[in-house]
Amino acid sequence: MNQKELLLIAVAIFVTIIVWVISELYLIHKSTPTEGDIQSFSVDYSIDTKVIETLQRKTP
């Protein structure tokens, strides 16, 4: 093989990898939910202060 053939093979491999990466990024972007697709909900929680007070009173 001469240098022209090696250069052609290297360029073909490089272009193939670039196309592969771009197609993967496009598919990921296409399958990622947009802001309107994401449902948000409020979380109601209560903190038991007795547990926190008990932990503060403990000494190592």
Tens digit of each residue's pLDDT (9 = 90 or more) over 8-60: 999 999 999 999 999 999 999 888 877 777 777 788 888 888 988 888 888 77
**pLDDT (0 to 100) of residue 4:** 93
53 is a domain residue = no
1 is a domain residue = yes
39 is a domain residue = no
What does each C-alpha distance from 54 to 46, 47, 51, 57, 60 come to in angstroms? 17, 13, 5, 5, 13
**Structural domain for 22, as ranges:** 1-33
Q: Please, what sign has the CA dihedral across residues 49, 50, 55, 57?
A: positive
2 is a domain residue = yes
56 is a domain residue = no
Q: Domain total for the chain?
A: 1
**pLDDT (0 to 100) of residue 31:** 84
11 is a domain residue = yes
Q: Phi and psi dihedrals of 39, rounded to 5?
A: -95, 130
* The model's pTM: 0.54
Residue scoring higher pLDDT (7 or 60) = 7
44 is a domain residue = no
**pLDDT (0 to 100) of residue 21:** 97
